[in-house]
Amino acid sequence: MRFSKSLIPTLKETPAEAEVVSHRLLLRAGFIRKLTAGIYTYLPLGLAAIRKVEQIVREEMTRAGAQELLMPMVQPADLWHETGRYKKYGPELLRFVDRHDRESCLGPTHEEVITDLARREIRSYRDLPMNLYQIQTKFRDEIRPRFGLMRGREFIMKDAYSFDVDDSTAEESYQCMYDAYKRIFTRCGLEYRPVEADSGTIGGSFSHEFMVLADTGEDTLVICSGCDYAANSEKAVVAAPGRDESPMLPLEKMETPGKRKVSAVCEFMGISPKELVKTMVYKAGEEAVAVLVRGDREVQEVKLKNFLGVVDVEMLDDKDVFAATGVPTGYLGPVGIKVKLLVDNEVAAMCNFVVGANEKNHHLKNVNMGRDFEPFGVADLRQITVDDPCPVCGGVLTMKEGIEVGHVFKLGTGYSKAMNAVFQDSDGQDKPMVMGCYGIGVSRIVAAAIEQNHDENGMIFPMPLAPMQVIVLNLGLKNEQITGAAEALYRDLEEKGIDVLLDDRDERPGSKFKDADLLGIPLRLTVGKRLTQDGVIELRSRRDGKVEELAPQQVVARVR
């Protein structure tokens, strides 16, 4: 690749909108450009880094026996109705209707589509186990897209799905993916930890997340210093309303709540009244406070930021709320606001929490949790903290921030039962397939790698993910000997299959050095005056700054 002919729009200034280092550097190094909130164009170098991740992922998926396919991004709502997730998934699912008035959505994940495929194509126990994966653009209408590639609305994911005859082989498939994930993240050159995780909206019996350790991570991990125990601190949280997984619908749908009793709402949602009434909110002075009700009587207060209130709410009888929660309602807290329930089925389906306000005027119209006021901070909801002993060995726990780059789930038969994905077993019986699903944030890995590998001058790519392995600086465009040597090096390295960028721009050496550092290319070859004076080319390692002097004919062998 020639710098002079490539689209690598590096920036001198730090873009104001970027809060974390990977976002700043991806913009400054000309790897990505924003189209609109959470949606980016990958420029040539950004795409090259993504391709490196994809390559590693593909090799390890193949090694683990998975086959690649590619599913559509547009999905019919009907499939999602079959599993009940069309209602449950919440506003992260971008829904729309086509010209024939058919409801559709953009795939945030593909359990429904793959299960539909499996029920059509997999007939017999002889076809199993089967593991299918794709690398594809996903769309999730994230509440707060931010941090560049770390939390986009459109992003690239590898998602794999396994199908097995029974639980024990499903666990083998899970383990096989778990091991493949370890190889993938090791090969990417990342410092990571597998942790026990909550299985979120996808549901399922158990799951692990793969976390890249970095201060800017949005997840908090508890890690035992005495044993292998490591978990996402969210894992043990019973109720976490307002988290991105929390079911909510677009606010337009909230305008006409009907009048339903708690029992009808619960029936509709398939949950118990206790689960429905997880949270009550009241106002204490200037600050709103949420009361979480867990199980029978465990009550915990958390503070809410900028609480505004809620849409039209229907009040329930105190008696009903009390019956549902075992918690006295009516006048709560120092200010004493009556607890109000959302009882329309759609409203209830999107908010499995209960909110209240002291006034029901225009301020409270169309208020949507998450969009209009901060959802509950997960930090406030942690069940395991460093004050607790390790649940495995009783040792001391520490906390670390992590970036979730991968997630493996053992799903069980939830999807296959809901969608009737059955196979004929060796005994002639039809049985639901036992499933697992496994995601990797391909584009997020690039951001995570930068969070872990950078300095004040720019990125420092681990070699396996580096979009270019070598940059050759031609510091004497007008000097025949220098240009001849730089061009020859460029050609020779390319011929050897090395990804090389030739900086042949008409720029001052200072800005070429700066850009080379910014781009984070692991090896820099400087062809300049030292060549004409002493016959040497300088090879510098981006990571440790070590410089070696080489004769031109030594370079290719040294770099390979």
Residues linked to residue 471 through DSSP beta bridges, in sequence order: 501, 524
Expressed in angstroms, the distance from the first to the final Cα of the chain is 18
Alpha-helix residue ranges (DSSP H) falling in 216-317: 262-269, 273-276
142 binds, among ligand ATP, Mg ion, none (CB under 5 to 8 A by kind): ligand ATP
**Closest approach of Cβ 260 to ligand ATP, in Å?**
30
Residue with the shortest CB distance to Mg ion: 407
CA–CA gap between residue 432 and residue 416 (Å, rounded): 6
Query: What type of residue sits at position 397?
Result: L
**Closest approach of Cβ 203 to Mg ion, in Å?**
12
**Closest approach of Cβ 146 to ligand ATP, in Å?**
9
What are the backbone angles phi and psi of residue 260, rounded to the nearest 5°? -130, 150
CA–CA gap between residue 382 and residue 394 (Å, rounded): 18
Pick the closer one to Mg ion by CB: 244 or 320.
244
The DSSP symbol for 390 reads: P
**Residue 226 CA to its chain's centroid (Å):** 29
Q: Give me Rg for the CA atoms of the chain.
A: 27
- Tell whether residue 441 is a contact of ligand ATP (CB under 6 A): yes
- Tell whether residue 133 is a contact of ligand ATP (CB under 6 A): no
Pick the closer one to Mg ion by CB: 90 or 309.
90
Three-state secondary structure readout of 50-62: HHHHHHHHHHHHH
**Closest approach of Cβ 128 to ligand ATP, in Å?**
24
Query: What type of residue sits at position 478?
Result: K
Q: Which residue among 141, 164, 404, 503 contacts ligand ATP (CB under 6 A)?
A: 404
Q: Which residue among 129, 152, 217, 458 contacts ligand ATP (CB under 6 A)?
A: 152
- Tell whether residue 151 is a contact of ligand ATP (CB under 6 A): yes
Give the position of tokens 């280092």.
21
- Tell whether residue 415 is a contact of ligand ATP (CB under 6 A): no
192 binds, among ligand ATP, Mg ion, none (CB under 5 to 8 A by kind): none
CA–CA gap between residue 122 and residue 120 (Å, rounded): 6
Give the position of tokens 């299918």.
132
In this structure, the chain runs to a length of: 560
* Sole window of 170-178, 413-421, 435-443, 511-519 interacting with ligand ATP (rule: CB under 6 A): 435-443
The DSSP symbol for 359 reads: -
Q: Is 517 helix (H, G, I), strand (E, B) or coil?
A: helix
**Closest approach of Cβ 310 to ligand ATP, in Å?**
24
**Closest approach of Cβ 510 to ligand ATP, in Å?**
36
What are the backbone angles phi and psi of residue 246, rounded to the nearest 5°? -65, 130
Beta strands in 197-246 (DSSP E): 206-213, 219-224, 230-232
- Tell whether residue 141 is a contact of ligand ATP (CB under 6 A): no
- Tell whether residue 193 is a contact of ligand ATP (CB under 6 A): no
**Closest approach of Cβ 130 to ligand ATP, in Å?**
20
**Closest approach of Cβ 529 to ligand ATP, in Å?**
45
Q: Which residue among 193, 407, 410, 512 contacts ligand ATP (CB under 6 A)?
A: 407
**Closest approach of Cβ 43 to ligand ATP, in Å?**
18
Question: What residues between 200 and 219 interact with ligand ATP by CB under 6 A?
Answer: 200
Residues linked to residue 458 through DSSP beta bridges, in sequence order: 455
Kindly determine how many residues on this chain lie close enough to bind ligand ATP according to the rule CB under 6 A. Answer: 17
Packing angle of the helix pair 318-325, 262-269 (nearest 10 deg): 40
155 binds, among ligand ATP, Mg ion, none (CB under 5 to 8 A by kind): ligand ATP
Pick the closer one to ligand ATP by CB: 432 or 439.
439
* Sole window of 188-196, 422-430, 437-445, 514-522 interacting with ligand ATP (rule: CB under 6 A): 437-445
Residues that bind Mg ion (CB under 5 A): 244, 404, 407
With contact defined as beta carbons under 8 Å apart, do 197 and 231 qualify?
yes
**Closest approach of Cβ 92 to ligand ATP, in Å?**
8
With contact defined as beta carbons under 8 Å apart, do 257 and 401 qualify?
no
469 binds, among ligand ATP, Mg ion, none (CB under 5 to 8 A by kind): none
Pick the closer one to ligand ATP by CB: 217 or 356.
217
Burial 535-548 (b: 16+ CB within 10 A, else e): ebbbbbebeeeeee
Q: How far is CA 503 from CA 30, 44, 471, in A?
A: 15, 15, 7
Q: Is 182 helix (H, G, I), strand (E, B) or coil?
A: helix
Q: Which residue among 107, 217, 402, 406 contacts ligand ATP (CB under 6 A)?
A: 406
**Closest approach of Cβ 151 to Mg ion, in Å?**
8
Pick the closer one to ligand ATP by CB: 85 or 444.
444
Please give the residue ranges that form the binding site for ligand ATP (CB under 6 A): 109, 140, 142, 151-152, 155, 157, 200, 244, 404-407, 439, 441, 443-444
